[in-house]
Structure 1
Amino acid sequence: MPDTPPVTFDDVRDAAARLSGVAHRTPVLRSRTLDELVGAEVFLKCENFQRVGAFKFRGAYNAISRLAPEQLAKGIAAYSSGNHAQAVALAARELGTTAVILMPEDTPVSKRDATAAYDAEIVTYDRYTGDRVAIGEAMAADRGLALIPPYEHPHVIAGQGTAALELIEEVGELDALVVPVGGGGLISGSATAAKGLRPSVRVVGVEPEAGDDTRRSLAAGHRVSIAIPRTIADGLAADTPGELTFSINQRLVDEIVVVADDEIRAAMRLAFERMKIVVEPSGATGIGALLAGRAGPVPPRVGVIISGGNIGAARFAELCGA
């Protein structure tokens, strides 16, 4: 691995300055019930209250805002299962450009409709047979668009890290930070921020049980590919860690654990019934891991990033029996 990390703590600080007044500084919420169930003080960084309903706006805006004016004039391309799609669409609109988004055909309707509402053009593909990276790169090249990937980009990673930066700046000392893991952008940025502020903090990633590509990759010491996972946590349904994100996570992430879909549902219900907040399945994985005892002995003060809340009422009721 190279001696110079691809994303530094200073990069996260710089992203925070760029996002000031643009991204929401989302709330950190507490629940006595959750604390009692887990046996620790739990601090929830609620990115479900971020613009577009997920942390993704941070990275998308940080990356797009750095493009040259002539590239902004041509437009932006992205591929995403939903939250990055909305983030790129909104950031593009905020910065006076256009966006074309490649989305899986089975993307939840609420996420697809929200992306279209930000004036993006949507192109669909079959996530189980198509290579979204190849399709997205070809689409961007054909149209002369700047491709902003969901995690394999240093400015995207630095932007995502600002969520953890804000959390630790607000609550002070943390013993552990628990973060959802898909392609690895959020956890690599979060780990960069967390270790930069508190070198002793333990960074724990959470993947869906059916999609543990990052856990397998870290254990193997190299990137491992798995079958496209089928899980209710659609935002974490990655089959291979990103090359850039994996190089960071090898350095900074202490452990990866997994949660089952039923444990994710339980976490969604608790957040809704006890805290009155709506969390999408991907965003609930950190709470799910703590409730199910998946993260091992829990230290006294734990931060959890709730990555998003983009789920429609019908889908929430279907999953949680509401």
Structure 2
Amino acid sequence: MINAFELQSGRLKQIQIESKADLERTQPIWIDFDDPTDDERLWAKELFKLILPDDDDFGDIEASARCFEDVTGALQIRSDFLLDKADESRNVPVAFVLKQDILFSLHEEDLPAFRLLRMRARHQPGYLEDCRDLLLDLYATDVEYSADALEGIYANLEQIGNRTLKAHLSDEAAAEVLASIAGEEDLNGRIRRNLMDTRRAISFLMRRRRLSTDEVEDARLILRDIESLNGHTSFLFDKINFLMDATVGFININQNKVIKIFSVVSVALLPPTLIASIYGMNFEFMPELKWQFGYPLSIGLMIASIAAPFWFFRKKGWLK
């Protein structure tokens, strides 16, 4: 699918693209390819002399393969944008090409940052000035979206902390807490990676000197926001590690309680075992063997030897 956008009266207007002729008649500042077909890729090549990157181009992690100027003078940028859903969170790769004062973007699915920018640019006159301003606003919106996701992580960790530190934590509940913490840690790591990738892309744009004075200042503001969010991700990593250690500590405490019960039982059973061993030796000269009350006495001694340690342990609070 192709979405073309023109600037009309300072607002971003979407143009419906159904054919190559529709695309040819537009004067866009942004052409967004959302999971394009082979025909749509061919239109881009014929009308704009643009070869859209394929899946193999998205996998490179080297800076030289993600941000570069091609032989035609177009700026090629590969970036990751955050997608945070209730059931999953991941980084979605997006390819940008700045060519002929048009921003071309390619991705496999619609993204929250793209939807939010389109909504703002439609309702706020003068929100965008050109394709470079548009690209910077996409990055700024993604940073804002990442900040909202970090706030969600902090709120979830607060709930996990209250559950972990203010109540008895069973092994089953601890397993659920560990799974929740692992999910928040994964999202926090993805956000940090996304911010790092955005910072690299913006720094590339500034080095290429394609931005106006106002756009350079906007880029610096975005970089400062990224630095602030990086510090917040570090704080969240520390909080995650603390909650992880606390939860594992509660699991160890529960296990130690079980081991303690076994230890107490073992110690309590030692005296009756000793008594039974003594009267089980069957020596010839043992006066209690033929005594009428020998058996009840030995049973009574064993019961008393069990009760006495349990009473002592209970008094010391070792059975709790």
Whether the TM-score (by the shorter chain) exceeds 0.5 is no
- Quick check: which one's helix share is greater? 2
Q: Choose between structure 1 and 2 for higher RCO, CA contacts under 8 A separated by at least 6 residues.
A: 1
Larger Rg: 2
TM-score (norm 1): 0.23
